[in-house]
């Protein structure tokens, strides 16, 4: 093998190296399995149901599945769990593909549970032939009532002892379309007295005269999730089937099926706790409700915890992977503060995002001793801590914009920004003094007249004179106009679903989106493309929104510079 090929090979296995993170019980389990010598490689899968967009919870699962396969020299399949023809749509399949790729992962095989419908049907016939399944001709309600409860055993169906030949005949006729929906179901024959309700003769197949996006009208019976899932894993030779804790109680059923069916491999299911984030919801059903009821602008609204939403908002794949690695993998339920996610983005962007000047809420100032009509080009560093990022030219002129919040008419003593007769340094330029405040009849501040101190130019000999505050600014003549969208927590309470008597949408944060229509940006920002991130000095990390055009620029605030919610979250906890 040539050196080049060799290099390529290793890199395929060490995707996102250095992101392995702390030890966790799943890694330890897999390590033991590998050490025991009965496994050659680790094969995992990410199995979304294509009935909505992926959210941050899915990211946790994706990162875990790909990380384990990469680490132990195997691969990961993307499997669409498309057994429910009613809710699934092609557009969700397309979006899921985009999102997994965006996160930085390449799946080995793209699989569909529906590709296994024929095999699963054969497995069902096998169960019937071996008297391990039977056709029940009761309706759903009767079956539900006989199921029993956690404290009471279930009762046998009157059809439980139906001869295999009769069940076989009925099942084949179900498949042939002879019966209407609900007329019969296929049930496993396990144990109606089992303490685990999932083992009380669970339903495996239902009649559903329903068109399927991929198999068309080939089928009018569909396997349910519990029957399709484990067998799909076995067909794909998945070694470790990683899933969330709610499937722990289903594992005995999966194991029973694997044990009794002639499947080609024996996957091992390991459960971990799902990701919960405060001040948001992570459930496709609830996210779909937000979209359908118009509380947000769509699945990719930048306030949504969907991957499409946070990508649009400005989150990077690196920050999401770092977040998923940092929160770890355990079996205990917990709620992660949203600030942990935000910090992952700050930590990712702080060393790399170029610094830019942008005024969000402009207040005009006139530098009375700056020559009219003149432009001076200042050379400012792109990143003060990283000189290797070079410099850029920023124009300064007689008329500038500063932030409204950086001026106070009646300022407290500790206010170190601009106030009447006060001084402040303009970032990268010089010190100015506020000589005159122009107000309208109602006392609103219209503009400030200031004078600059030529002795105080940044970077020049003799410029050491210090003032307490430094503020950002933009040349009025050169400013690029933009709309800026500030996003905040989507909900105003940590757990919007806690109160079962109330709809979670009652707790939406009315200030989750604040639009500033008159922002003024330094000229370079006109060239920024969506997906490129910069720091607006002193205000946060921003990226152009996908709505942005050269006629109407729109910027999203991905995250603030500091965590303004830390205190509030403490109050609630």
103 binds ligand ATP (CB under 6 A): no
Q: Closest approach of Cβ 209 to ligand ATP, in Å? A: 24
Stretch that binds ligand ATP, among 135-143, 281-289, 438-446, 554-562 (CB under 6 A): 281-289
Q: Which residues between 188 and 227 bind ligand ATP (CB under 6 A)?
A: none
60 binds ligand ATP (CB under 6 A): yes
* Binds ligand ATP by CB under 6 A, chosen from 27, 58, 184, 240: 58
Residue from 59, 52, 16, 23 nearest 320 by CA: 59
Residue from 343, 312, 307, 379 nearest 542 by CA: 312
Binding residues with ligand ATP: total (CB under 6 A): 15
Measured CA distances, 51 to 263, 302, 497, 573 (Å): 28, 20, 21, 34
Q: Closest approach of Cβ 147 to ligand ATP, in Å? A: 23
Q: Closest approach of Cβ 52 to ligand ATP, in Å? A: 7
Residues 6+ apart with CB under 8 A from 34: 42, 72
* Binds ligand ATP by CB under 6 A, chosen from 14, 138, 266, 283: 283
230 binds ligand ATP (CB under 6 A): no
Pairing of strands 540-544, 358-359: unpaired
Paired tokens of 416: 């170190």
49 binds ligand ATP (CB under 6 A): yes
48 binds ligand ATP (CB under 6 A): yes
Q: Closest approach of Cβ 47 to ligand ATP, in Å? A: 5
Which CB sits closer to ligand ATP, 57 or 267? 57
- For residue 379, what is the enclosing H or E element? strand 376-381
Active site residue ranges: 49, 274, 284
Which CB sits closer to ligand ATP, 241 or 348? 241
Q: 232 with 182: CB under 8 angstroms? A: no
* Binds ligand ATP by CB under 6 A, chosen from 16, 26, 57, 219: 57
Paired tokens of 203: 């339903």
- Phi, psi (5° rounding) for residue 501? -80, -10
289 binds ligand ATP (CB under 6 A): no
309 binds ligand ATP (CB under 6 A): no
Which CB sits closer to ligand ATP, 60 or 425? 60
525 binds ligand ATP (CB under 6 A): no
3-state secondary structure 533-552: CEEECCCEEEEECCCCCCCC
Which CB sits closer to ligand ATP, 256 or 272? 272
Q: Closest approach of Cβ 551 to ligand ATP, in Å? A: 38
Paired tokens of 417: 């920004």
Residue 515 DSSP class: E
Which CB sits closer to ligand ATP, 30 or 525? 30
Paired tokens of 553: 């620029």
321 binds ligand ATP (CB under 6 A): no
Rounded to the nearest 10 degrees, the angle between the axes of helix 164-175 and helix 117-129 is 160
Residue 337 DSSP class: -
478 binds ligand ATP (CB under 6 A): no
Paired tokens of 345: 């983005």
Residues 6+ apart with CB under 8 A from 373: 398
Which string of DSSP letters, residue by residue, matches 424-453?
EEETTS-EEEEEEEEE-TT--EEEEEEEEE
Stretch that binds ligand ATP, among 55-63, 361-369, 419-427, 460-468 (CB under 6 A): 55-63
Stretch that binds ligand ATP, among 57-65, 292-300, 305-313, 349-357 (CB under 6 A): 57-65
- Strands of the sheet containing 75-80, edge to edge, are 43-46, 75-80, 110-112
495 binds ligand ATP (CB under 6 A): no
Q: Closest approach of Cβ 544 to ligand ATP, in Å? A: 29
87 binds ligand ATP (CB under 6 A): no
Which CB sits closer to ligand ATP, 57 or 523? 57
Q: What is the dihedral of CA 327, 81, 209, 173, to 10 degrees?
A: -130
Stretch that binds ligand ATP, among 9-17, 276-284, 343-351, 452-460 (CB under 6 A): 276-284
Measured CA distances, 173 to 126, 170, 183, 184, 219 (Å): 16, 5, 12, 10, 12
Measured CA distances, 379 to 176, 357, 382, 458, 560 (Å): 77, 13, 9, 10, 26
Return the residue nearest ligand ATP (CB atom): 57
Q: Closest approach of Cβ 34 to ligand ATP, in Å? A: 22
284 binds ligand ATP (CB under 6 A): yes
Q: Which residues between 237 and 256 bind ligand ATP (CB under 6 A)?
A: 243-244
Residues lying near ligand ATP in the complex (CB under 6 A) are found at: 47-49, 57-58, 60-61, 243-244, 274-275, 282-285
């Amino acid at each position: 093998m040539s050196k080049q090929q060799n290099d390529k090979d290793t890199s395929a296995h060490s995707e996102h190296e250095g992101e392995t993170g702390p030890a966790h019980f799943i890694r330890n389990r897999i390590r033991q399995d590998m050490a025991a010598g009965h496994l050659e490689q680790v094969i995992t899968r990410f199995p979304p149901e294509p009935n909505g967009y992926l959210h941050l919870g899915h990211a946790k699962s994706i990162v875990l599945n790909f990380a384990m396969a990469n680490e132990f020299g195997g691969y990961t399949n993307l499997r669409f769990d498309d057994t429910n023809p009613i809710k699934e749509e092609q557009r969700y399949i397309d979006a899921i593909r985009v999102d997994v790729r965006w996160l930085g992962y390449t799946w080995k095989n793209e699989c569909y549970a529906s590709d296994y419908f024929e095999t699963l049907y054969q497995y069902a016939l096998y169960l019937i032939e071996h008297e391990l399944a039977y056709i029940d001709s009761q309706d759903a309600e009767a079956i539900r009532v006989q199921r029993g409860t956690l404290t009471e055993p279930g009762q046998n169906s009157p059809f439980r002892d139906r001869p295999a030949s009769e069940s076989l005949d009925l099942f084949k006729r179900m498949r042939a379309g002879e019966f209407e929906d609900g007329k019969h179901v296929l049930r496993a024959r396990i144990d109606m007295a089992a303490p685990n309700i999932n083992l009380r003769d669970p339903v495996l197949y239902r009649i559903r005269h329903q068109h399927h996006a991929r198999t068309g009208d080939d089928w009018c019976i569909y396997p349910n999730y519990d029957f399709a899932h484990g067998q799909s894993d076995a067909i794909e030779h998945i070694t470790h089937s990683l899933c969330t804790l709610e499937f722990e109680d289903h594992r005995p059923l999966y194991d029973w099926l694997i044990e009794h069916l002639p499947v080609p491999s024996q996957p091992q299911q390991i459960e971990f706790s799902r990701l919960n984030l405060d001040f948001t919801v992570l459930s496709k059903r609830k996210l779909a409700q937000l979209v359908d009821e118009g509380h947000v602008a769509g699945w990719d609204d930048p306030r949504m915890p969907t991957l499409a939403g946070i990508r649009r908002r400005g989150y990077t794949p690196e920050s999401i992977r770092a977040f998923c690695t940092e929160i770890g993998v355990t079996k205990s339920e917990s709620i992660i503060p949203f600030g942990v996610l935000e910090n992952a983005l700050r930590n990712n962007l702080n060393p790399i995002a170029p610094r830019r000047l942008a005024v969000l809420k402009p207040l005009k100032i006139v530098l009375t001793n700056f020559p009219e009509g003149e432009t001076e080009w200042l050379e400012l560093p792109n990143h003060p801590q990283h000189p290797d990022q070079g410099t850029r030219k920023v124009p300064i002129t007689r008329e500038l914009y500063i932030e409204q919040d950086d001026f106070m008419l009646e300022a407290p003593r500790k206010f170190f920004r601009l106030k009447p007769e006060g001084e402040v340094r303009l970032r990268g330029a010089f010190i100015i003094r506020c000589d005159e405040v122009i107000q309208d009849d109602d006392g609103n501040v219209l503009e400030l007249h200031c004078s600059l101190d030529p002795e105080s130019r940044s970077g020049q000999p003799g410029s050491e004179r210090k003032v307490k505050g430094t503020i950002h600014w933009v040349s009025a003549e050169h400013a690029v106009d933009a709309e800026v969208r500030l996003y905040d927590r989507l909900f105003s309470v940590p757990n919007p679903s806690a109160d079962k008597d109330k709809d979670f949408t009652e707790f939406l944060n009315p200030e989750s989106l604040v639009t500033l229509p008159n922002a003024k940006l330094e000229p370079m920002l006109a060239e920024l493309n969506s997906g490129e991130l910069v720091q607006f000095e002193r205000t946060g990390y921003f990226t152009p929104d996908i709505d942005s055009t050269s006629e109407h620029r729109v910027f999203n605030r991905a995250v603030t510079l500091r965590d303004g919610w830390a205190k509030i979250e403490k109050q609630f906890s």
